[in-house]
Amino acid sequence: MSGKIGVMVCGHGSRSKSAVAEFATAAEALKTRFPDWPVEYGYLEFANPVIRDGLDALRAKGVDHILAVPGMLFAAMHAKNDIPSVLNTYAAKHGIRIDYGRELGVDARMLRAAGERVRAALEELDAAHGPAPASETCLVVVGRGASDPDANGNVAKVARLLWEGFGFGWCETAYSGVTFPLVEPCLEKVAKLGFKRVVVFPYFLFSGILIDRIYGFADTVAARHPDIAFAKASYLGSHPAVIDTFAERVTELLDGPAAMNCGLCKYRIQVLGFEDEVGAPQESHHHHVEGMGASAPGSAVETCRLCHTFCTGACRLLAGPGDHRHHGDGHDHGHAHHDHGHSHAHDHAHHDHAHEHTHGHGHTHDHDHGHAQAEGHGHDHGHGHGHHHPRYPHENHPLGPKSVVTGGLYTYERDPDAIYAQSFAIIRAEADLARFGDAAPLAERIAHAAGDTGVLADLVVHGPVIAAAKAALAAGRPVIVDTEMTRHAIAARYVPREQVRCHILDAETPAEAEAAATTRSAIAIRRAADALTGSVVVIGNAPTALFELLELIRGGARPAAIFGFPVGFVGAVESKAALVAMAPAPFATVRGRRGGSAIAGAALNAAAAATADTRISA
């Protein structure tokens, strides 16, 4: 063996700065295993340095025999096509030898690293909820997801090995994108299996947008099922066993054959469902995002109009026909193209797929290239390249990427029972309802109507308002309201429509309001003056209506209960402060500007149904 040897670790790249940093850390760790050989690394897309830069650095150190390995768990399109294309092009251009190794694959050391991550998650569950046998826990292993069934199948194999190794009660395999089932539909099905403990394990090397997506959907499903304890296991990271496996992938290039598992390679044989991809050209599809860096457009969820706390991948499904999206990670990115003078004589024996690789590219990609390059050759070559990812045959599977959106809409909870349960579970987790005593149902409903548990900090409940309201209703006394909106917010299942009185639409109301120089809502309360005593009064809109009620009370009216929730910038604060100061009857109100008919109606509904074993709906 002649020539100076160097090692090249080829990564995919990420828009996540943390993922790029973690990959670099792993590559640096590999240097300690080969102190006599220079070790460099580079990425296919997004991040810097690109693979070409790493190869340049090795050549600058006098290396003429490069041992290149894919920094990837399994061999799919990136490891089989994209990286070999870049390496072969570079080798042909510079006349050096590049041997290409195999992916990390299903390996005992990788399984040991995975086992330690899963075991840590189990210990976390035991610490939080008490010990339980593995047989009472469901494991969900989440892989990257690819258009290559062989790579997807390897994730399932890892899942089975972990399942059997730990003796879990059940195990499911999910994927973060491209194939099916995705994380959310998989976890929803797992939630129906009856297990009270679930470990979600992302079988990934490093962090990034997809890890955020997996954990984000795990949190989403966990919020829907508060009776199930979910633990999010860590990804593999730079576990020593991972670095050991990387090192072996390098040394086996010198010690013996390092062929990838080609037995089920869809480019070599007709795999069921992928028959048309046999002999597909071995070419890279990453030129448009090569070296863009982790700050490329779409890197931050904050700049995405479709995502909030994590990237769901929705934009890939909602993209227009002319939009360019990449790998199902969501988020579009601009095109900064680089030299890719494809020579493609793929003579490396380690994974040539047996497809015909010597081909000239008249690709039709239709991107205008005015590239300025790190290598300094600002060359203009508008070669329309027609290379593209083959359409994945199951891209419309109901549990695959399409599950993120439905009919062009965002994914959302449709089951009314689930919506009800999740909403009130959140309220009870966020708010200390016990401090309201018997009025807790009323406080809960007010928070629900406001969509904000923070409103409870301003809630004032005086006297037995629920008991007083229920007694008045049972006695057939009317509910007097200030507006039609408030009237419609009161549920007919608890208070018959005929028992609710609103005078704002009375024929005489407008003229009386004009004559009195006040609002029609105030007149609506005034017109009910004869019925106020013993009644339930609900004010959901107008501060003037609450002031009018207080004046009528000073004149001798004695309502049984008052729900005073006027809203607005003028008079709302003052009218409710006056109610609190006077305290003429059992009442509930919210200090400040907040209020409204929805809150007022919800408060009365809660009072009317406080002891009923039924659900309240407006």
Give the residue numbers annotated as catalytic, written as ranges.
Answer: 448
Query: Does residue 171 contact residue 200 with C-beta atoms inside 8 Å?
Result: no
Cα 344–chain centre separation: 39
Q: Please count the other Cβ atoms lying within 10 Å of the Cβ belonging to residue 612.
A: 11
Helix (H) or strand (E) holding 200: strand 197-202
Q: Please count the other Cβ atoms lying within 10 Å of the Cβ belonging to residue 140.
A: 25
Q: Kindly give, in sequence order, each residue whose CB lies less than 8 Å from that of residue 139, ignoring residues fewer than 6 positions away.
A: 118, 159, 162, 163, 166, 168, 170, 171, 172, 198, 199, 201
Comparing C-alpha atoms, which of 536, 540, 447 is closest to residue 485?
Answer: 540
For the CA atoms of 445, 446, 447, 450, what is the dihedral angle to 10 degrees? 120
Query: Does residue 50 contact residue 86 with C-beta atoms inside 8 Å?
Result: no
Backbone angles phi, psi at 410, to 5 degrees: -70, 155
CA–CA gap between residue 230 and residue 588 (Å, rounded): 39
Cα 563–chain centre separation: 40
DSSP string, 332-379: -----------------TT--TT---------------B---TTS---
DSSP string, 451-501: T-GGGGGGEEEESSHHHHHHHHHHTT--EEESSHHHHHTS-TTTS-GGGEE
CA–CA gap between residue 219 and residue 184 (Å, rounded): 10
Q: Which token pair is 27?
A: 């590559």
Query: Does residue 214 contact residue 202 with C-beta atoms inside 8 Å?
Result: yes
* Signed CA dihedral, 311, 312, 318, 322: sign only: positive
Greatest CA span in the chain, whole angstroms? Answer: 108
